Chain A
Amino acid sequence: MSHDHHHPTGFKRWLYTTNHKDIGTMYLVFALIMFFVAGGMSLIFRIELFRPEHVFIQPEFYNQLITMHGIIMIFGVVMPAAAGLANWMIPPMIGAPDMALPRLNNWSFWLLPFAFLISLSTILMDGPTPNFGWTFYAPLSTTYGPKSTDFFIFSIHMLGLSSILAALNIAVTIINLRAPKMTWMKMPIFVWSWFITALILLAIMPVLAGGVTMMLMDRNFHTSFFEAAGGGDPILFQHIFWFFGHPEVYVLVLPAFGVISHVIPAFSRKKLFGYHMMVYATIVIAFLGFLVWMHHMFMTGAPIESQLFFMYSTMIIAVPTGVKVFNWVATMHKGSLTFETPMLFALGFLFVFTIGGVTGIMCALVPADYQYRGSYFVVAHFHYPLLATVMAIMAAIYFWLPKWCGNMYCESLGRWHFWLTLISVNLTFFPQHFIGLAGMPRRVPDYPLQFTDFNQISTIGAIVMGLAQLLFLYNIIKTVKRGKPAVERPWDGAKGLEWTLPSPMPYHSFETPPDDLDEH
C-alpha cells in the first residue's frame, strides 16, 4: 500500500524527510553543488598558475583557495556523494525498506550544509580564512593560525559528527537488516565495501575530533599539545592527523571500488571474478591502511627504523590493491562487453587508478621520497586515485540514475562527458609528474620559469575538465525532467535485488523482505 498521501511536499519534505531515497538525493545534489564550488576554486588558482609570475590573485588568497579546495573536495564532494550512493542503494541491495536509523539519517545529512556554511562564512570575517592547507599542520594552524581557525575547527567537528552518524547508521543497517537468505558472503560487494568503509570511519573520525580539539585547546586555553614551548610537539599533530588522514583516503576510495565491482560485471555480462578474494582484499587494505600513516612524515626527521617500517608496510598495500585490479580485468576477460557510459567511466577508473597506484609505489620508496615529498609529484600522485574515485561516482550515477528517476540519460552526451573528462584529467595531472620531478614544490602561487609549459598544459586541462562537467549537469537535469522512461533492468547484464524493483524505485520498497536474491 502506498503511504504517499501522508508525506509533505516542497521545502518541508526535504527538511524533515527520513526516507533513504530522499536523503540519498540530498547528499548527491549537495555533492554536485560543492563539486562546482571546489572545482571553481581550482580553476581560479590554475589560472594563477598559467604564468610563472603573478597573474591576478595574491599569495595569501591563493593559500586560502587551495585549503578550501582540498577540504571541500574531500568532505563536501566525495564523502557526501559516497554517502548518497549508500543511502540510495544499500537498503534495496539488501532487501531492506530503509536505513536502520531513519531520523539519525536526516541529521547526518543536514549537519553538512550547516558545517560548510560555518566554514565558508569565514570569508566574511575579519582576517584571513583558513590558509594552511587541508592538512592544517601545527604550529602554522595553531600559534600562527588566523582567527577563523576556531570556526574551521568547529566546522570539522560538525563534518566529523555527520560522518560518524552516517557510518553508524550504515553499519547497523548492514548488520541487522539484510534479507533472510543474504548471508555475509552473499552480500553485494558494494554493500561490503561500504560496511568496511563505515567501520574505518567509526575508528578514525573520533581521532580527528580529538586532534582538532587539542588544537582548539592549544589556541584558546594555553595548553601545549603541539607547542614545543610548553613541552609539546608539532610532530604529534602530524601523527594524530595522519592516523586519521591515511585511512581517510581508503574511506574515499573503497565505495568507488564497490561501484566498479558492480558496473564491470554488469557490462561484461559475467559474475565478478573472485568475489571472496575481493572481499578479503578489501578487508586487508582497510586493516593495512591503519599501519602506514607515517609515510606522510618521512622527512620530519624520523629515525631510520620508522622510515623502514612504514616503507615496507606502505609497499605491502600494493599487493591486495593489485589483486583487485587484476580481478576486475579478469571479470571482463571472456565476457561479452558493451561500452555504455557507466562502463566507459568504470574503465576510465581502472586506467586512472592504476597510474595512481603505480606512482604511489614510487612514493613509498623512502630514498625516492626525499625528492618527491612536498613537490608536484605528490600532487600528481594523489589526484590520480582521487579523480578515479570521481569517475567511479560518475559511473554510479549513470548506472543507477534510471533506477532513481525512472528515465534514461542521453547516451551521446554521456560519451562526450566521458571522453572530455578522461582526456582532461590526464592533461591536467600527468604533466604535474614532470614538474614535480624537475623540482617544483607544491602550494606555491608562482614558480621558476622552467615549469611554465607543463603548468600551462595543466591549466588548459583543468579548464576543459570544468567545462565538461557542465555537460554532466545538463544531462542529469535533462534526464530527470524529460528523459525517456527506463525499464526495470536497463542493463541486461546487471544482477541484484535493486534491479528487481521498478524504475523509478517506489518511495517505499521492500516493505516485506524478498525471498530470491537475483544472483548471477
Chain B
Amino acid sequence: MSTKKKRSILYLLGGVLFMFGFAYMLVPLYTLVCKQLGINGRTTNTPTVLPSSIKVDPTRSIDVSFTATVHGNLGFIFKPLIHHVTVHPGEVKLVYYYAQNKSGKPLTVQAIPSITPDYTAKYFKKTQCFCFTQQYFFAGEKADMPVYFYIDPKLPKKTQAITLSYTLFDVSEHLKKSQAHYRRGRIDIQ
C-alpha cells in the first residue's frame, strides 16, 4: 500500500475515533454549557455558601412558587407545604416539602429540581436542600424536607416570578454507596 494511501487512512480513522470520543465529550460539555450560559433550568446539586458580602435588595420582590411531581407511579406523597413566598433578592428563605412513603416497602428516592424561567437557574442559590442527597425512606415513613435558598441580586430586572419544581424519582437502580441509607437534611415526623 502506498504511503499516501496509508496516510489518508490513518488521518481519516483518527477523525473517526476523535468523533466517537467527541460524543462522550458532549456529556460533560453539555453540563458545562448549560451551567455557564445559565440555560436548561437546572440548579446545581451542591450547596452554595451564602457570601458574607451579600446585600438584600429591598426594592425588588420576587414571587417564588413551589410545585412537586412524583415520577412513574412511585407510591409516595410528595408536595410543597408552602406554595408561594415573596422574597427580596439576597434574603435567605426556608420552605418545606412533605414526603411520605406509601409504597409499602423501603425506597431510596431523589428529588430532581427544575426551575422556570430557565435562565433564572443561575441566580437561584440553595444553601441547604434535601435534594442534594438521595433519601432513604422506610415503608410508611414521613418527613418534612427543608430548602434554604436565596436569590442572587444580580437576577435580571425583567424577572418577577420564579417557579421551583421537584420531581421525585426512585433511585434504587442508581444508589450512591456514599449515601446509602441517607436520612439527612430532613425532619422526620412521628
Contact B23 A164 (CB under 8 A): no
Q: Are B2 and A176 in contact (CB under 8 A)?
A: yes
* Residue from A100, A207, A233, A303 in contact with B22 in the complex, judged by beta carbons closer than 8 Å: A207
B8 interfacial contact with A, CB 8 Å: yes
With both chains docked as a complex, state the minimum distance between the C-beta of B42 and any C-beta of chain A, in angstroms: 8
Q: A100 vs B12: C-alpha distance in the bound complex, in angstroms?
A: 14
Binds A, one of B50-58, B86-94, B170-178: B170-178
- Answer yes or no: A224 CB below 8 A from chain B CBs: yes
A171 within 8 A of B: yes
A101 to B1, CA, bound (A): 10
Q: Does B127 contact A (CB under 8 A)?
A: no
* A230-B119 in contact given A168-B13, A206-B16, A225-B27 (Cβ < 8 Å): no
- Whether A305 pairs with B39 at a CB distance below 8 angstroms is yes
Partner of B23, one of A211, A235, A303: A211
**Would you call B101 an interface residue if the criterion is a C-beta within 8 Å of the partner chain's C-beta atoms?**
no
Q: Which of the residues B2, B167, B174 comes within 8 Å of A230, measured between beta carbons?
A: B174
Stretch in A236-244, A326-334, A394-402 with 4+ CB within 8 Å of B: A236-244
Contact status of A176 and B8, CB under 8 A, knowing A239-B26, A240-B26, A303-B119: yes
Q: In the complex the two chains form, is A171's CB within 8 Å of B171's CB?
A: no
A303 to B41, CA, bound (A): 9
Q: How far is the CA of A303 from the CA of B119 in the complex (A)?
A: 8
- Pair A229/B9 contact, Cβ less than 8 Å: no
* Interface residues contributed by chain B, number (CB under 8 Å): 35
A222–B171 Cα gap in the complex (Å)? 10
Q: Does A228 contact B (CB under 8 A)?
A: yes
**A235-B4 Cα distance, complex, nearest whole Å:** 42
Residues 18-34 of B at the A interface (beta carbon under 8 Å): 19-20, 22-24, 26-27, 30
Q: Chain A: which residue is nearest B2 at the CB level?
A: A176
Instruction: Report the separation of the CA atoms of residues A303 and B22 in the bound assembly, to the nearest whole angstrom.
Output: 24
Of B12, B20, B71, B118, which one neighbours A207 at CB under 8 angstroms? B20
B71: which A residues are within 8 A, CB to CB?
229
Q: Which residues of B contact A101 (CB under 8 A)?
A: 9
A224 contacts which chain B residues (CB < 8 A)? 174
- Chain B residue numbers with a CB within 8 Å of A227 are 174
A450 interface contact, C-beta 8 A: no
CB distance B30 to A222 under 8 Å?
Answer: no
Assuming the contacts A168-B9, A305-B39, asked whether A202 and B45 have C-beta atoms less than 8 A apart, the reply is no
- Judging by beta carbons under 8 Å apart, are A210 and B23 in contact? yes
A-side contacts of B118, CB under 8 Å: 301, 303
B26 A236 Cβ-Cβ under 8 A: yes
Mask, A208-235, CB within 8 Å of B = 1, is: 1111001000000010110111110101
B15 touching A202, Cβ below 8 Å? yes
Q: Is B157 an interface residue (CB 8 A)?
A: no
- Flag if B9 contacts A239 (CB, 8 Å): no
Given contacts A206-B19, A207-B23, A209-B23, contact A228 B39 (CB under 8 A): no
Within 8 A of B (CB), among A279-303: 301, 303
Interface size on A, residues (CB 8 A): 37
Which residues on the B side are within 8 Å of A236 (C-beta)?
26-27, 30
Residue of B nearest to A229 (CB): B169
CB distance from A427 to the nearest CB of B (A): 41
Which parts of B75-120 form the interface with A (CB within 8 Å)? 110, 112, 118-119
Q: Which residues of B contact A206 (CB under 8 A)?
A: 16-17, 19-20, 22-23
Supposing A176-B5, A229-B174, A230-B171 touch, asked if A202 and B30 sit within 8 A by C-beta, the answer is: no
In angstroms, how far is the closest chain B Cβ from the Cβ of A138? Answer: 13
Question: Does B16 lie within 8 Å of A240, measured CB to CB?
Answer: no
**Is A444 engaged at the interface, CB distance under 8 Å to the other chain?**
no
B16, A172: Cβ atoms closer than 8 Å: no
Chain A residues with CB under 8 Å of B110's CB are: 229-230
CB neighbours (8 Å) of B9 from chain A are 101, 168, 172
- Which residue of chain A has the shortest Cβ distance to B13 in the bound complex? A168
Q: Would you call A364 an interface residue if the criterion is a C-beta within 8 Å of the partner chain's C-beta atoms?
A: no
Q: Are B5 and A222 in contact (CB under 8 A)?
A: no
Q: Kindly report which residue of chain A lies nearest to residue B19, judged by CB atoms.
A: A206
- CB of A222 within 8 A of CB of B23, answer no
Chain B proximity of A297: nearest CB distance (Å) = 12
Structural contact, A222 and B26, CB atoms closer than 8 A: no
Looking at the complex, which one of A172, A203, A211, A301 makes contact with B15 (CB distance below 8 Å)? A203
Residues of A within 8 A of B42 (CB): 233
Contact across chains for A222 and B16 when beta carbons are under 8 A apart:
no
**Contact indicator A229/B17 (Cβ below 8 Å):** no
The answer to whether A172 and B169 touch across the interface, beta carbons within 8 angstroms, is no
Is the beta-carbon distance between A168 and B16 smaller than 8 angstroms?
Answer: yes
> B20, B24, B119, B169: which contacts A228 (Cβ < 8 A)?
B169
Given contacts A172-B5, A172-B8, 14 further A-B contacts (CB under 8 A): A101-B9, A168-B12, A175-B4, A176-B8, A202-B16, A206-B19, A206-B22, A207-B22, A207-B26, A229-B169, A229-B174, A231-B112, A240-B23, A301-B41
- Residues on B facing A (Cβ under 8 Å): 2, 4-5, 8-9, 12-13, 15-17, 19-20, 22-24, 26-27, 30, 37, 39-42, 45, 71, 110, 112, 118-119, 167, 169-171, 173-174
**What are 10 A-B pairs with beta-carbon distances under 8 A?**
A168-B9, A168-B13, A168-B16, A172-B9, A175-B8, A202-B16, A228-B169, A229-B169, A236-B27, A303-B39
A interface residue numbers (CB < 8 A to B)? 100-101, 164, 168, 171-172, 175-176, 202-211, 214, 222, 224-225, 227-231, 233, 235-236, 239-240, 243, 301, 303, 305-306
Would you list the 7 A-B pairs with minimal beta carbon distance, nearest first?
A: A210-B23, A229-B169, A206-B20, A230-B174, A206-B19, A207-B23, A303-B39
